[in-house]
Amino acid sequence: MDAVDAALGSMQRPIELHEPRFSDRERELVLDCIDTNWVSSAGKYVTRFEEMVAAATGSRHAVAIVNGTAALHAALVLEGVEANDEVLLPSITFVATANAVSHAGAVPHFVDSTWDTLGLDPQALEAHLDAVAVRRNSAWVNKRTGRRLRAVVPVHIFGHPVDMTALGAVAARYDLVIVEDATESLGSTLNGKGCGTFGHSAVLSFNGNKIVTTGGGGMIVTDDEAHARHARHFTSTAKKTHAWAFEHDEVAYNYRLPNINAALGCAQMERLDGILAAKRVLAERYLAAFRDLPWARIYREPKGAESNYWLNTLVLDREYASERDRLLEALHGHGIRARPLWVPMHLLPMYRDCPRAALSVAEDMNTRCINLPSSPFLAEAVQGTKKS
């Protein structure tokens, strides 16, 4: 507890896990939407927000979506995932990743994670595919189920980039489409390249607890102009452009982000550099506070990465794993809204029967990791406390 207090200072309790902060600028842009009646999925802020996110990630195109789950669903369908396909993904992720696969009519296929990145382990994936994948009729299939292996969805857990070079090699060998789940990693880079730019397409989230928020929102990013154009059409009910006629040319979805939400995002994106800088200050405070503890450590960004440290993560030594829930209870009693990892997907009732690899690392992570309060304004508040 003393180490957490050292990192956070004498802030008023409770301290939530990750909170947004809004300024007069957000109010100004939202009121502009209301005053001009441009509050739905058309409007200047949607386009502006897309351009700002594309620039921030290093992508050529961005398509604003109503939330991250819808964006993942649409991205998978647009990449050719079909009913009864299998999509490989880590068991350690938020449930939206697996749900999006299910919404596409496909089957989640869970693979293990690595302590190197907290995300999907390319070596474990390759070893698993070597054991279960077989080539049939020009497609790779799971020889145990007979289903096509279509895609892999790496998730940059808590903003820490997956080893995308190694993953790309495995995906190429098995003809797997990569759809990056970059929902937690806006602003994170690997060897100078932005998360969300390693696959053909990627998805970001702007939920209320993310680095930048639109209240609820998501984004599909890609360098492929034709793919972006189709994504925009597909998520706008596939309505053909016409002055008055309602003509649609495919079964599609009404998934576009409203202008009023995009206005929030534009104002937030204007402060992105400052938010990321504050997040790193807070991460360094946590790293320093826990540096000499014999029973736990703060997870540090992977080699070659510059993480956004979306959620700072305390990793208990294995012999203290049984103390996780007692520590969480103590933190909450102290007004610190820490949390454990998400329940691994393969342990949830609706996904227990899905295909999976050995998941020893994922199950180990589940018992040993705790997310600590990580709002960017915490760094500013602590600095202010120190000055006073």
pLDDT of the residue at 383:
58
- Can you give the pLDDT at residue 381? 67
* Domains of the chain, start order: 2-21+272-387 (3.90.1150.10), 24-269 (3.40.640.10)
DSSP 8-state code for residue 188: -
Confidence (pLDDT) at 4: 82
Query: Average pLDDT, whole number, for the chain?
Result: 96
Note the pLDDT of residue 386: 45
pLDDT at 382: 63
Written as one string, the DSSP assignment of 107-133 is: EEEEE-B-TTTSSB-HHHHHHHHHHHE
Q: What is the rounded CA–CA span in Å between residue 96 and residue 252?
A: 20
pLDDT tens digits for range 66-94: 999 999 999 999 999 999 999 999 999 99
- Angle among Cα 193, 198, 200 to the nearest 5 degrees reads 140
Cβ count within 10 A of residue 88:
27
In the chain, which residue ranges form alpha helices assigned H by DSSP? 2-8, 24-36, 44-57, 68-78, 95-103, 122-132, 164-173, 225-234, 259-269, 272-289, 324-333, 360-368, 377-387
**Closest to 87 measured CA to CA, from 178, 197, 202, 222:** 178
Supply the pTM of this predicted model. 0.95
Q: Give pLDDT tens digits for 352-384.
A: 999 999 999 999 999 999 999 999 999 976 655
pLDDT tens profile 1-58: 678 877 887 778 899 999 999 999 999 999 999 999 999 989 999 999 999 999 999 9
pLDDT at 21: 94
User: Contact at 8 Å (CB) between 286 and 48?
Assistant: no
Q: What percent of the chain has pLDDT over 90?
A: 94
